[in-house]
Amino acid sequence: MSRRTHVLSIADIAPEAVILAGAGRAILLQLANPGVGYGVAQHSNFAADPLKRLHGTLSYIYALTNGTPEQQKLVQVRVQRAHHPVKGPRTAAHPAYSAGDPVLQLWVAATLYDSGMQSYRALFPALGPDVAETVYRDYGVLGAALGMPADLWPATRADFAVYWECQLTSLRVDETIRSVAHELLAARHAPLWVKAIMPLARFLTVGLLPLSLRELYGFAWSTRKDKALAAMFKLAAVLVRITPRRIRHAPMHFYLKRLH
């Protein structure tokens, strides 16, 4: 009797801790959409609690991809409650925004997919086309659970690529958004352990950003840093192969346990 081959899915990919290398990238991409950026700037406080958005996002991702139905319902209720007051009228500085806007929910989910897969591709064997499409479709749940209509998620990876390139050309970073981003990366009021790893987090965040967005934020970069980033990922790819799964998946287990 032949053994069934396990087909990778989002439940296998999302728990990999190395995907967190793209977490800062995803947040800065989100902020560069004025509807998201001004919602965060006017309704969040990165200076006092820089980890709050990261904790909420990771709890959400891990619950939806690997949690129980109860955990999934819990994070959906929490997110909807947190998003309800996040809205603002159009001004000279920014468009009207609402956290309940499906278009903004699509963008948030898109940044999580693109940033997560960028890190995954750098460290793990390439996914076959069929598996890659399955994983891509699975990621749509991150937007749908926010309230985004499921059919708003681009149907295929090719459709997503068109959507993504279009969105990159429409991103905008003004002084307000730039200030929020620098506040996040400064982490002045973060715990000591976070401050200790922030130089690495800043390096990864800036290095993984699209060139156009790196320039919008005013981040300096160089060929030498590019080479250092490539070398870091080569070393990480080796370490991933020899690190037990329970260690690689430790953040997921931590956040799912936290939900209890």
pLDDT in tens, 115-136: 999 999 999 989 999 999 999 9
Residue 4 lies in a domain: no
How many domains does the chain divide into? 1
* Residue 202 is assigned to a structural domain of this protein: yes
pTM assigned to the model: 0.92
What's the first-to-final CA gap in the chain, in angstroms? 41
Q: Which domain holds residue 168?
A: 10-254
CA atoms within 13 A on the CB side of 12: 11
Q: Which residues of 119-134 are buried (b: 16+ CB within 10 A; e: fewer)?
A: bbebbbeebeeeeeee
Decide if 132 contacts 192 (C-beta within 8 A): no
- Helices (H) and strands (E) counted in the chain, each on its own, are 15, 2
What pLDDT is recorded for position 162?
98
Q: Percent of the chain beyond pLDDT 90? A: 71
Instruction: Let me know: does 18 contact 240? Beta carbons within 8 Å.
Output: yes
Contact 177, 222 (CB under 8 A): no
Question: Of 236, 218, 205, 253, nearest to 123 (Cα)?
Answer: 236
Assigned domain for 259 exists? no
pLDDT tens profile 38-67: 998 888 776 667 677 788 889 999 999 999
